[in-house]
Structure 1
Amino acid sequence: MKRKFGIGALIAAVTVLIGAVPAAAQDGGAEAVQVVLDNLWVFIAGILVFLMQAGFGMVEAGMTRAKNVGNIMAKNLADMCIGALAFFAFGYGIAFGTDGASLIGTDGFFLSGTFTTFGDGLSTPTFFFFQVVFAATAVTIASGAMAERTKFTAYLVFSFFMTALIYPVVVHSFWHGDGLLSDLKIGDARFGDFAGSTIVHSTGGWAALMGAIFLGPRIGKYDENGNPRAMPGHNIAFVVLGVFILWFGWFGFNPGSELAADDFVMRAAVTTLLAAAAGGVTAGTVIWRKAGKLDVAMTGNGVLAGLVGITAGTGTMNPLGAVVTGAIAGVIVVYSVLFFDRVRIDDPVGAISVHGVCGVWGTLAVGLFSRYDDAFVGQDNAGLFYGGGIDQLVVQLIGVVLVFVWVTVTTGILFAVMKKTMGLRVSREEEIGGLDLHEHGVPGYGPDTSVSVG
């Protein structure tokens, strides 16, 4: 009886709500209803992006060895805790405070004052919530590339500066609305990145690149001749589950970036779905042909590559353009992972390739496949293949280069200072023994487990 009452009460509440909307519209309240719907949708989308943190943790844990699983989870937990506080105190003001010569926001720290927001009627708490989970995503991207050999204290310092300064400056340059990238224009073409292929993903990817370079490869990754050895992760089920959690969360990441409950939400959802599927198919096919067997982890990275690739153009491409963009991203990620292995940049999870390299591809793809005739407001030019000429592609390339330079220089300085002072890498003994025991005092699977921690 209680269950029947609960369902009946829910149906009654929904019926009252549906009936109230036309009444509000008749009373001149349609705009007020839309504001409520916009805020609710952006909040829900932010919750989906928040859940992506769990997806990152699962993918990273699955692709690394069992002796480091607790450390992986600790870093992902720290990214949200440290990241939220750092973004609250400094990052949000730098990103969306009053413009200071088109470089950074100069006020509004600790959520004080007035901020630039997108969309009519989004409250500051709604907009902050949505932006802070994006900031946590950007920093967590680097966690996988720095896995299995980074000091936990050093990673905490990196997480703070990434969310307090480095990422917010990139955000201000474009999403503030009056920054370096948002003002970048060639002819009628302006830089476009709907949900952050470059602004979020390449930012995290280039930070991951610098972290991997400064740390150096894991012990045993290369043989005496410098050839890479396979160091497989310990749990493929974690990887696949993490990929699905991230894919699920991306339906908040991309559609939520419309910052309104309108018809573009479902357009972005469809392009997101198709690009991810195409990326998984092409990455799986390529690695199957090269290795003779289907590599499940690489196929999962192909799905993520497709998601990263479509993030910039999800609001400006038609479904076919999304499929092509995702499919090419799936091919790129396989060859990119193999390339970084060959040049001795050890990235245990492929984060540099998935987020950095495929973020670049997705941003450039806007200059190829975007359609001005039905694109979101703010896209000023069609892509090359839809009659827009080369201007949009060139302006996209300039934006990619500017972000690359900023992130690699700032994170390079940060890692260099930490390496000289507090130290960046754990000792040889700690790395061999596993970070769970040496950094956190307990194995990730507990002392009585039968799971190997080797």
Structure 2
Amino acid sequence: MDVSWESSVTDSINTIYLLFSAYLVFVMQLGFAMLCAGSVRAKNAMNIMLTNVVDAVVGSISYYLFGFAFAFGGSSNPFIGTSYFALASIPDGTYDYSFFLYQWAFAIAVAGITSGSVAERTQFTTYLIFSFFLTGFVYPIVAHWVWSSSGWLSPSSSNLLFGSGAIDFAGSGVVHMVGAVAGLWGSFIEGPRVGRFDAFGKPVPMRGHNATLVVLGTFLLWFGWFGFNPGSFDKILVSYPSTSDQGNWTAIGRTAVTTTLAGSTAGIVTLFGRRLIVGHWDALDVCNGLLGGFVAVTSGCSVVEPWAAIVCGFVSAWILIGLNVLALQLQFDDPLEATQLHGGCGAWGLIFTGLFAKEEFVIQAYDSGESGVTRPYGLFLGGGWGLLGSQVVELLSIVAWVTITMGPLFYALHKLRILRISVEEEVAGLDISSHGGYAYAAHPEENQPRFYAEYMRLQSNYS
């Protein structure tokens, strides 16, 4: 067979696979939109759906102009890509547009996480500012650290941290923790929504208005996760040693299974765990538990056994439940539990990988199954401290980096009085104050005198 023809076929199959995975990850934006819309009150549904659209629109421009270059621009700099415009060349020196599209789909997911944390009380124009900054600069730097071959945390670097590098295969830290820490600072600086806690500091329920949308969004996110995790093998066909009977196709299938098992385990544990706490079965809690399991396993999905994924999901469920209880005690208000879910479960995912990664799978994922290679792997499997140490360093580095970038930005916006909407607008709802009307023709809160009075007052101001 002609070698050049075989190479062309291989490249074509890999490109199709990567593009298909990018489309699946992009579907997650629809999942985020539906999940967020159902999780907020009806008077803010239009606003939260618009922010999800803006994540994709603004993210496209910022990631094209700056983000991709900072993340994967051709350079040997371990901290930042140094090609400063648009589609900077990736390490092999070519312009790979399918790779750009896949990475863009990841970038816009970060802003979607943050939007949930600051929902129902943030000025829309200000949202455009921090969404652009997060997608174009903050997230890409972390992506360079871990996913660029020259990154200082990369497991593919020529100078491996602790002889290992950090394994964050699809982004428990790079994607989910970055969005969560940004959301943490935004939510903390803005403060709780009006009426979320009473005069004695006790939480007042503010349930979302549409459980159907929450469940729909959860299943769309589950579907998209099969591009998020298995798709992070950006090549389905690679050169493996002739003695090996395995290839990426084996690892891709296993990754899909570990993803499913971790999410499912977290969902069922959350179902029974919350039943013990609140006294009834709650579909919305199960949806968040399910997503927490997916977030946690995203780091090690390619390098752990299916049984370990079940352990991952079990622990992530209790982490989410515990952090939600703690958030209420601290009067921390995150309408979608995004900080607890993506931050807490994402952090656990990094640690989990350092404990349970299997050496054979690490070599398969990062050394193309090359024989004779030894690498640090999970501490609980006898692999030493190298990998776990790298995971902890990644975790702490992400918290520090996002804190020193997004924290001051949110604080500056707060001091300029352009971060949070007024109390009157918040009571009336962002839809009527900022977007020309409610998302629904028959708004369920229009019959409540308090909301309707605010609605009429604001209408008179605009007329």
Q: What TM-score, normalized to structure 2?
A: 0.88
> In the alignment, which of 139, 144, 156 is matched to residue 172 of structure 1?
144
Residue 194 of structure 1 corresponds to 169
Residue 180 of structure 2 corresponds to 205
Contact 2:376 2:385 in 1 (8 A): no
SS in 2 for 1:346: coil
> In the alignment, which of 181, 187, 198 is matched to residue 153 of structure 2?
181
Contact 1:202 1:360 in 2 (8 A): yes
SS in 2 for 1:46: helix
2: distance between equivalents of 1:213 and 1:28?
Answer: 57
SS in 2 for 1:105: coil
Residue 314 of structure 2 corresponds to 327
Residue 401 of structure 2 corresponds to 406
SS in 1 for 2:86: helix
Change over 3 Å in CA distance of 1:219–1:329 after alignment to 2: same
Percentage of identical aligned residues = 38
Contact 2:153 2:161 in 1 (8 A): no
1: distance between equivalents of 2:216 and 2:15?
Answer: 30
Residues 260-298 of structure 1, C-alpha deviation per residue, up to 9 Å, x if partnerless?
A: 123122111111111111110111111111111122111
SS in 1 for 2:366: coil
1:27: how far off?
6.8
2: distance between equivalents of 1:368 and 1:55?
Answer: 31
2: distance between equivalents of 1:101 and 1:35?
Answer: 28
- 1:125 pairs with 2:100: no
Residue 297 of structure 2 corresponds to 310
1: distance between equivalents of 2:90 and 2:6?
Answer: 25
Residue 73 of structure 1 corresponds to 49
1: distance between equivalents of 2:267 and 2:166?
Answer: 28
1: distance between equivalents of 2:70 and 2:430?
Answer: 34
1:29: how far off?
2.6
Within 5 Å, which residues of 2 pair with 1:42-441? Answer: 42-99=18-75, 101-111=77-87, 113-116=88-91, 124-182=96-154, 185=160, 187-261=162-236, 262-263=248-249, 264-375=251-362, 376-378=364-366, 380-421=375-416, 423-441=418-436
Contact 2:89 2:95 in 1 (8 A): no
Residue 461 of structure 2 corresponds to none
1:437: how far off?
0.7
2: distance between equivalents of 1:27 and 1:393?
Answer: 42
Displacement over 6 Å in runs of 4+? none
Residues 400-422 of structure 1, C-alpha deviation per residue, up to 9 Å, x if partnerless?
A: 00011000111001111211225
Residues 134-168 of structure 1, C-alpha deviation per residue, up to 9 Å, x if partnerless?
A: 00001110111100000001111011000111011
2: distance between equivalents of 1:158 and 1:186?
Answer: 32
2: distance between equivalents of 1:312 and 1:123?
Answer: 27
AA partner of residue 391 (structure 1): G
Contact 1:39 1:122 in 2 (8 A): no
1:187: how far off?
4.3
Change over 3 Å in CA distance of 1:35–1:122 after alignment to 2: farther
1:344: how far off?
1.4
Contact 1:284 1:294 in 2 (8 A): yes
2: distance between equivalents of 1:188 and 1:102?
Answer: 16
AA partner of residue 421 (structure 2): V
Q: What TM-score, normalized to structure 1?
A: 0.90
SS in 2 for 1:52: helix
1: distance between equivalents of 2:202 and 2:223?
Answer: 37
Residue 8 of structure 2 corresponds to 32
Within 5 Å, which residues of 2 pair with 1:442-453? Answer: 442-446=437-441, 449=442, 451-452=444-445
SS in 2 for 1:306: helix
Contact 2:266 2:290 in 1 (8 A): yes
Residue 6 of structure 1 corresponds to none
1: distance between equivalents of 2:108 and 2:332?
Answer: 24
1:330: how far off?
1.4
Residues 331-358 of structure 1, C-alpha deviation per residue, up to 9 Å, x if partnerless?
A: 2111111211211110011100111110
Residue 371 of structure 2 corresponds to none
2: distance between equivalents of 1:100 and 1:384?
Answer: 30
AA partner of residue 139 (structure 1): A
2: distance between equivalents of 1:260 and 1:110?
Answer: 23
Residues 270-328 of structure 1, C-alpha deviation per residue, up to 9 Å, x if partnerless?
A: 11111111110111111111111122111100100000011000110011111111121
2: distance between equivalents of 1:123 and 1:273?
Answer: 34
Contact 1:298 1:334 in 2 (8 A): no
Contact 1:197 1:310 in 2 (8 A): yes
Residues 182-232 of structure 1, C-alpha deviation per residue, up to 9 Å, x if partnerless?
A: 268554332110000000000001011011011100000011111111111
Compare 416-425 and 255-264 and name the one that shifted more: 416-425
Equivalent residue pairs, number: 424
AA partner of residue 171 (structure 1): A
**Gapped regions of structure 1 (runs ≥ 5):** 1-24
Contact 1:138 1:203 in 2 (8 A): yes
2: distance between equivalents of 1:323 and 1:165?
Answer: 35
2: distance between equivalents of 1:349 and 1:384?
Answer: 34
1:369: how far off?
0.8
1:114: how far off?
2.0
